[in-house]
Amino acid sequence: MIRKKIVGCVLIISFGFLCARDVQETILRGHKLYEQGEIKKALEQYNSIEKKGTATWQNIGNCHYKLGNHLDALISWKRAARTAPWRELPLIYGNIDRAYKTLEIEPASPVMHVVERFVQRTLSLFSLYGWQMLFLLAWALLLACVAYLARNGRYGMLSSLTVVVCVFAVALYIKYDLQMVEHGIVVEKDLIVYAGPDKALHEMGTLNRAQELVVCDQQEQWIKISATDLDGWVPADSIALI
């Protein structure tokens, strides 16, 4: 029995090593084709990778942009940004801005645009689990010290600790939204939003091409979305998930 378990573990480790090596070789082939100007073939190599990470989505976006598929490039770079580490985000943001400029899209609020990116980059310092641990540690510290600090009149320190807990709570909430809540990008021009999953129902309004939104639900070929000032249903093929 022990021997079978050992053999099983060895096989699993060997399979994982071979898969990782396979992916690495595919990425290297893609890089070589890209450098040689064979952009379509490079894109095929990157798309063949089943589990795409930040670097793969970044490379796919580069290929699409070279081919003139600017919306597809934007979608790929947005996917890269969702999982990118702190040090890689500036490069990805630069690419996203380049796509926005080519598509002639301006942010609704430049100030909020900058703030959102600052928050996202700050949150990329830790994983969702890391922010959970920070919040729990701060909360436990507050509970352990609240009676002592109040009894000794150290209300300033108590207030500061409470603020820290609140900041970690907000950071955890936003990190969860960025990582766990599904987002999408509109791929059609003047996309009509309906009151329900049926084109015969009331039209709620329209969404612009390349607009980002939150995916709330899905029923067969329809997706329920929530945008800045519009909620409703749209055909599933009119949204690219990021």
Q: Do 242 and 185 meet the contact criterion of CB atoms below 8 Å apart?
A: yes
Q: Can you list the alpha helix ranges (DSSP code H) found in the chain?
A: 2-35, 39-47, 54-66, 70-83, 89-102, 110-123, 128-151, 155-180
pLDDT digit string (tens) for 175-232?
998 888 899 999 998 999 999 999 999 999 999 999 999 999 998 899 999 987 899 9
Structure tokens at 176: 């969860």
Domain that holds residue 192: 183-241
Same domain, residue pair 71 and 84:
yes
Residue 115 covered by a domain: no
**169 and 190 share a domain?**
no
**pLDDT(11) > 50:** no
Q: How many CA atoms lie within 13 A of 232 on its CB side?
A: 19
**Position 20 confidence tier, pLDDT thresholds 50, 70, 90:** low
Predicted local distance difference test score (pLDDT) of residue 60: 96
Task: Classify residue 122: in a domain, yes or no.
Answer: no
CATH number at residue 22: 1.25.40.10
Is residue 190 situated within a structural domain?
yes
Please indicate, yes or no, whether residues 55 and 20 belong to a single structural domain of this protein. yes
Rounded to two decimals, what is the model's pTM?
A: 0.82
Look at the chain and report how many structural domains it folds into: 3
Is residue 90 situated within a structural domain? yes
Question: 175 and 189: one domain?
Answer: no
151 and 91 within one domain = no
